Amino acid sequence: MAKFNPNEHQHLRYNPLRDEWILVSPHRALRPWSGQTETPQVEKTPRFDPRNPLCPGVERASGIVTPHYESTYVFTNDFPALLEEGPEPEVSDDPLFQTRSARGTCRVMCYHPYSDVYLTSLSTKEVVDIINEWVKQTAELGKKYLWVQLFENRGQLMGCSNPHPHCQVWASSFLPNEAKIKDENLLRYFEKHGRPLLQDYVHKELAKNERIVTENEDWVILVPYWAVWPFETMVLPKKPLQRFTDTSAPQRESLARILQIIVAKYDNLFKCNFPYSMGWHGAPTGPKLEEDMPHWTFHGIYLPPLLRSATVRKFMVGYELLAQAQRDLTPEKAAEMLREQCNQRFS
């Protein structure tokens, strides 16, 4: 029998952040495609739309008029999933019907007053302004809440309801599942090895140089060994960093530059506004804000759904929903495809 080759032969890969496995089936990557092929939509957004509540001077659902902001602008979501106050649920001792208290707040953060701009067309200074606002939101909400989740849904494919460049901030009194799973696995690794998992990981990846997409003096962007989405990437600091609030001014500037590069590479891959959900994970805050959490490494995550073109996406369906995550394209190939793209967006 032929010798095992990870670029050709089926295998399982371990995700130490989730303590779970993913099935990699590279031999399927060349199979013919006769599935979904919709026509690409033309995405042209006007700079200002008098009906768009995220634009300066336009009234929102709450009746409040969005001010004439000049940089970033943050407001409390008019349709929040989490409220600061509310009646407490009754405590139940039934193990099958447990309920817990949930408190929090949801904010919307506009990146810029113009609707027709994005990280690739803004100046690095303007991207630094966005990063500074992310840090400010984390610091402010982190005083009160255990977890502050910054996230952006880009594109209609990811359920984004508004073309104006923006993200969301959801702060909660509880650790959401993803944070809880990651916290437990990072801690287990730290207790066993005495070092932060993601610092060990980034340095091993730099040495292997198989899945790196781009790097600069402070940051590395790579396709994780255990990536689930075809072009999933992770943004990792080269030096230990627990929270967004720990970043220095030079680290924020180098982060701005590398984010502009990864978005350009994504957009160039299929010549479109590459859809994704992206966001940031760092050590828990709130009551744990002052705690040193050396098992944590602050990092960013990009989860894009596209697989073959601007319109053909990977579906997380049958086997993924009922058994476990599976991919055809190897993380190494995906990293190579992204690495080859130009660092400036196509025009």
Q: Assess whether 295 carries a catalytic annotation.
A: no
> CB 175 → ligand H2U: shortest distance, Å?
22
Nearer to ligand H2U, 154 or 281 (CB): 154
Nearest to 210 by CA among 328, 333, 29: 333
Q: How far is the CB of 79 from ligand H2U (least distance, A)?
A: 4
| Beta strand pairing call for 20-24 and 326-327 | parallel
Q: Which residues bind ligand H2U (CB under 6 A)?
A: 53, 60-61, 77-79, 108, 153, 160-162, 168
| Rounded distance between C-alpha atoms, residue 220 and residue 238, angstroms | 7
Whole-angstrom CA distances from 68 to 57, 58, 75, 110, 130 are 6, 9, 13, 12, 17
CB-based contacts of 320, cutoff 8 Å, min separation 6: 326
Taking a C-beta distance cutoff of 8 angstroms, is the pair 154, 302 a contact? no
**Closer residue to ligand H2U, CB minimum distance, 60 or 308:** 60
Q: Which of 112, 166, 281, 295 is catalytic?
A: 166
318 three-state secondary structure:
helix
Tell me the C-alpha distance between 183 and 242, whole Å.
12
Which residue number, 53 or 224, has a Cβ lying nearer to ligand H2U? Answer: 53
CA 135 to chain centre: 15
- Minimum distance of ligand H2U from residue 267's CB (angstroms): 19
Going by C-beta distance under 8 Å and a sequence separation of 6 or more, which residues neighbour residue 199?
Answer: 239, 240, 297
What are 343's two structure tokens? Answer: 């660092």
Tokens 């402010």 sit on residue: 140
CB of 51 to ligand H2U, least distance (A): 11
Closest separation in Å from C-beta 52 to ligand H2U: 8
Residue 122: what residue type? L
Residue 116 or 332 having the CB closest to ligand H2U: 116
In the complex, the smallest distance separating the C-beta of residue 212 from ligand H2U, rounded to whole angstroms, is 30
Q: Which is nearer to ligand H2U, 154 or 299 (CB)?
A: 154
Beta strands in 67-182 (DSSP E): 73-76, 104-110, 147-154, 166-172
153 versus 285: smaller Cβ distance to ligand H2U = 153
| Lookup: tokens for 28 | 């399927």
Please list the active-site residues: 166
